[in-house]
Structure 1
Amino acid sequence: MTRPPRGVRRMRTTLLVLLVLIGIVNYIDRSTLAIANSSVQEEFGIGPAEMGLLLSVFSWAYAFGQLPAGGLLDRFGPRRVLGGGLLLWSIAQAAAGLAANVKQMLVARVFLGLGEAPAFPGGAKVVATWYPKESRGTPIGIFNTASTLAPAIGPPLLTWLMLSYGWRAMFVIAGVAGIVLALVWFAVYRDRPRSDEEGVDAAPEPVSLREWAGLLRHRSTWGMILGFSGVIYSVYLYLTWLPAYLEGERGLSLAQTGVALIVPYLAGTLGMLAGGGVGDLLMRRGVPTMLARKIPICTGLLVGGLCTVPVALVPSTALALLCLSLAQFFINSASSGAWSLASTVGTERITASLGSLQNFGGYFGGAFAPLITGIIVERTGSFVLALLSAGAIAILAALSYAFLVRDPIGADDAPVH
């Protein structure tokens, strides 16, 4: 492989650092309500089911925001679309801290979801723009570690902010941090000068609406949409309800919960790195692209789903945390592998469109996780059934990737039947 110019290597590093920071802010912002769960319920006088709705409305807005986000990214580029989304969601995050009632909080959560929609498809687009196909899994894995690093470092930080200054100040501070980061992104990001070197596609034409809609005629696209819903169902269940589970089901204090969350999310970070790196390694050793990208996805979902079962059933809190850490490792390995698949299963010009469709499926299905969990907990007084359901859904998602995602996808290709 031709060694890229020094300027390209430097820009790759800079953009990867910025993408990780954006991803961390992204996940910290969406997890603030989970940390403030009890405080918000008490101040607004609502129960678990209504809190489940507040948690879920973000995901529905985020999911439907994926549909235009991918096309906009492929047409206008990550600088404007990802940067604009970061600015929008950061303003919404700060506004949530000023909400006077549940309706205002709901509106803020909707705009938080819409603003965050371009973030991860935008990251995949940046990687596809700056890296060749056989080397995209590792940077995508590094970028996606933000989704596990943020929940690892976020709870202690957010808990400290909330205990020190109140939950409202916690929201506002997080929003201001995102606004500053958006200004840095606008100042730093530049599109790569186009060429055929390193297997990076040269000067791709913007994807038309007809071509975007044509992606939905491929069986592999639907396999990715359905499969990723199982990934995000598990991820979002843990992200939104894990603090309440550890406090209510396992009897930990708020401070103990903030510390206990670190280990599972660090395990998830290792899983993110493994999912992308394993796919790259398999490709370099001659394994066909589709199979190389699917192995960490299917393995991660199967093992992660199985590890979720003892989390619900074992009496020991320490053992539950161990199983939870293993589940986080394998589920997040599948998540990283899924984004790597989106960046290689088609050409660079459709990366964001395909990634956003997959992410739409993920968050449309995943949006039901906090709502269904809230209803189950309110009716049964326990998280057991909610966790067992998440394990079963992860296993079904593995089957979707295994049997439906079979062929490469191109915007101009004939549909796969």
Structure 2
Amino acid sequence: MRARRRLRGMRTALLVLLLLIGIVNYLDRSTLSIANHAVQHDFGVGPAAMGLLLSVFSWAYAFGQLPAGGLLDRFGPRRVLGGGLLLWSLAQAASGLVGGFKQLLAARAVLGLGEAPAYPGGAKVVATWWPRDSRGAPTGVFQMSSTLGPAIGPPLLTWLMLGFGWRWMFVVAGAVGVVLALVWFAVCRDRRDDREEPVADRVSVREWLGLLRHRTTWGMIIGFSGVVYSVYLYLTWLPAYLEGERGMSVAATGFALVLPYLAGTLGMFCGGAVGDVLVRRGIRTTLARKAPICCGLVVGGLCTVPVALTASTALALVCVCAAQFFINSASAGAWSLATVVADERITASLGSLQNFGGYFGGAFAPLITGVIVERTGSFVAALLAAGAIAVVAALSYAVLVREPVGVDRRPVVAKR
């Protein structure tokens, strides 16, 4: 009984911390989109250059996934996720102290590298502390941070920027992350640190590379790029869209942005929980986990079409909320899939590969959107493209993700 209470307490503490870390993670990503116009004015750059500044984070974040997953599986999320949190928080604070565009570009790249272990680390924690048939709900809870952060961020960050300037907004956000990193190190324990649990073998390079031989892995990599493309288009350009295309004021935009992200938060929880329900009803695990992904992507992509074409700002905002609900439902389903489709020992590696694909492809969303807006003077074509990409991503999950991912654990034989 005492061991059970201890386990329950650690699960609760870890889930709360993962939720807070994820919120800070997305607050830090959101600062630049909130300061979009102010940074363009101060540094004298246009939408295309701003698209590059927004995209460099995602490219650094994407390539940071490749070592992050292996490091998490090898050394555990306590050290790797905590170290990443500390690094990205320092980079975030430094973004407020830069003297020019190139320095801000470098700070955003370090921010992306530091944030890389966050979500694979969360998947690793869930895979090692929760049973296989109950991982969807905790995954959905910590994934809710990716919508709660942007929901909390706009009014809070807008208030900080209007009151103290965009530079202090960056510094304060970074300081919050440093404090949270210290709490993580003090509270978190990796499961293998628990003396009641056997120590798992460390993941080898052969096992990591072996993941790339599976069609399921590639389906997750390609499909998640469509998820992140849609999510990141809204995350990086929605404030500018509401201000420029719909004529809303900065203050009104800050509060209007809360609604889509609250809808996305609900979608996150539903996407994870629905998978748990389907598994408990006897549906094959892989099918149960990918069903919310495919449905969410298709419906979310279709909801993006009226956002582009309607003349009504109110209707456009309603459709943005619907798109956020379904796309984020797919996102939570994708991370739930990563926790069950492979051995727990290599969950973070598989999750980081999926996330690499997501952010490598998704990184083009702000850049492509910026170029399209600069050339056409409108967001219409950019939004329609995002809807089509979401449907293609659904097909990737449906067609390629079919079987669990096996792990190559053969010993390495020395050549004679």
The residue aligned with 2:296 is: 300
Measure how far apart 1:204 and its partner are: 2.3
Measure how far apart 1:411 and its partner are: 1.7
Query: How is 1:360-399 mapped onto 2 (pairs within 5 angstroms)?
Result: 360-399=356-395
1:400 is matched with which residue: 396, 400, 407? 396
Paired-residue identity, %: 76
* Paired residues of 1:138 and 1:280 also in contact (CA < 8 A): yes
Q: Indicate yes or no: 2:353 matched with 1:357.
A: yes
The residue aligned with 1:124 is: 123
Q: 1-side partners of 2:215 and 2:33: how far apart?
A: 36
Q: Indicate yes or no: 2:345 matched with 1:318.
A: no
Q: 1-side partners of 2:71 and 2:120: how far apart?
A: 10
* Paired residues of 1:234 and 1:390 also in contact (CA < 8 A): yes
Q: 2-side partners of 1:411 and 1:163: how far apart?
A: 52
* Paired residues of 2:51 and 2:370 also in contact (CA < 8 A): yes
The residue aligned with 1:35 is: 34
Paired amino acid for 1:350: I
CA deviations over 1:232-282 (Å, ceiling 9, x no partner): 000000000000000000000000001111111000000000000000010
Query: How is 1:72-87 mapped onto 2 (pairs within 5 angstroms)?
Result: 72-87=71-86
Measure how far apart 1:192 and its partner are: 2.4
Q: 1-side partners of 2:130 and 2:343: how far apart?
A: 12
Q: Aligned-pair RMSD on alpha carbons? A: 1.6
Q: 2-side partners of 1:362 and 1:204: how far apart?
A: 29
Q: 1-side partners of 2:60 and 2:407: how far apart?
A: 26
* Paired residues of 2:206 and 2:408 also in contact (CA < 8 A): no
Q: 3-state SS of the aligned residue for 2:302?
A: helix
Q: 2-side partners of 1:245 and 1:100: how far apart?
A: 28
CA deviations over 1:208-234 (Å, ceiling 9, x no partner): 011101100000000000000000000
CA deviations over 1:171-206 (Å, ceiling 9, x no partner): 0000000000000000101122589x9xxx953211
The residue aligned with 1:279 is: 275
Which residues of structure 2 form unaligned runs of 5+? 411-416
The residue aligned with 2:414 is: none
TM-score, normalization by structure 1 = 0.96
List, as ranges, runs of 4+ consecutive aligned residues in structure 1 with deviation greater than 3 Å.
Answer: none
Q: 2-side partners of 1:215 and 1:183: how far apart?
A: 34
The residue aligned with 2:333 is: 337
* Paired residues of 2:207 and 2:409 also in contact (CA < 8 A): no
Q: 2-side partners of 1:217 and 1:208: how far apart?
A: 15
Distance 1:313 1:4, change over 3 A: farther
Measure how far apart 1:410 and its partner are: 2.1
* Paired residues of 1:339 and 1:355 also in contact (CA < 8 A): yes
Q: Indicate yes or no: 2:14 matched with 1:15.
A: yes
* Paired residues of 1:71 and 1:207 also in contact (CA < 8 A): yes
The residue aligned with 1:108 is: 107
Distance 1:401 1:3, change over 3 A: farther
Q: 3-state SS of the aligned residue for 2:378?
A: coil
Measure how far apart 1:412 and its partner are: 1.8
* Paired residues of 1:33 and 1:55 also in contact (CA < 8 A): yes
Q: Indicate yes or no: 2:70 matched with 1:71.
A: yes
The residue aligned with 2:137 is: 138
Q: 2-side partners of 1:165 and 1:99: how far apart?
A: 16
TM-score, normalization by structure 2 = 0.97
* Paired residues of 1:377 and 1:383 also in contact (CA < 8 A): yes
Q: 3-state SS of the aligned residue for 1:286?
A: coil
CA deviations over 1:310-350 (Å, ceiling 9, x no partner): 00001111100111100000000000000000000011001
Which residues of structure 1 form unaligned runs of 5+? none
Measure how far apart 1:3 and its partner are: 11
* Paired residues of 1:233 and 1:362 also in contact (CA < 8 A): yes
Paired amino acid for 1:377: V
The residue aligned with 2:165 is: 166
Q: 3-state SS of the aligned residue for 1:5?
A: helix
Distance 1:202 1:345, change over 3 A: farther
Paired amino acid for 2:6: G
Distance 1:106 1:340, change over 3 A: same
Paired amino acid for 1:156: P
Q: 1-side partners of 2:394 and 2:110: how far apart?
A: 31
* Paired residues of 1:94 and 1:174 also in contact (CA < 8 A): yes
Q: 3-state SS of the aligned residue for 2:191?
A: coil
Distance 1:83 1:381, change over 3 A: same
* Paired residues of 1:194 and 1:202 also in contact (CA < 8 A): no
